[in-house]
Amino acid sequence: MGKKDELLTGALRRGALSALSREERMKYELARELGLLDRVRQVGWAGLTAKETGRIGGLIGQKKRHL
């Protein structure tokens, strides 16, 4: 299993973030800021509610517009 696969299954490690695209890194950073990173690590992205994933998506859109 490669670094990217480990991240996507929830085994997030600090050194493995470099294997992700800019958008994927932003997604993990926003999940951490919103206090959702532990749940993402435990159950994956599918374990989040539509409201939570929508919030992350909205914040990504805002950040992209300001870049």
User: Is residue 66 very low, low, confident or very high in pLDDT (cuts 50, 70, 90)?
Assistant: confident
Dist. CA 2–CA 64, nearest whole Å: 28
Distance CA 30, CA 33 (A): 5
CA atoms lying within 13 Å on the CB side of residue 55 = 15
The per-residue pLDDT for range 2-57, each reduced to its tens digit, is 555 555 545 455 556 667 888 888 999 999 999 999 999 899 999 999 999 999 99
pLDDT recorded at residue 13: 55
Token readout for 38 is 């532990």
Q: What is the pLDDT of residue 19?
A: 76
- pLDDT at position 21, please? 85
What is residue 1's predicted lDDT score, i.e. its pLDDT? 45
CA dist 45 and 49 (Å) reads: 9
Of the candidates 20, 15, 30, the one whose C-alpha atom is nearest the C-alpha of residue 61 is 30
